[in-house]
Amino acid sequence: MSRPVYKLVGNMLKQALTHLQSSKQFILHSDQGWHYQMKPYKRTLKQTNITKYVL
């Protein structure tokens, strides 16, 4: 791909979630790029109880 697209971030998040134990609390660190502020991304974090950590 010649430009960043949300699909890359969404797929990464889905893959990561397959490896996480649901009984644990996780903190995800990301920059504040536009793709990390998309509604589907925020919704997934909320639904899976993952805290977003931003510097």
- Higher pLDDT: 30 or 15? It is 15
Residue 37 lies in a domain: yes
Residue 45 lies in a domain: yes
Q: How confident is the model at residue 36 (pLDDT cuts 50, 70, 90)?
A: confident
Residue 42 lies in a domain: yes
Domain count, the chain: 1
Beta strands 50-53 and 26-29 are parallel
Average pLDDT, the chain: 81
Residue 1 lies in a domain: no
Residue 22 lies in a domain: yes
The pTM assigned to this predicted structure is 0.68
For residue range 24-35, list pLDDT tens digits in order.
Answer: 777 777 777 888
Contact assessment for residue 27 and residue 51, using Cβ atoms and an 8 Å cutoff = yes
Q: Is the pLDDT of residue 19 over 80?
A: yes
Q: Which residues contact 52 (CB under 8 A, 6 or more apart)?
A: 27, 28, 30, 36, 42, 45
Q: Which domain holds residue 25?
A: 6-53
Among 21, 24, 52, 49, smallest CA distance to 9 is for 52
pLDDT for position 43? 92
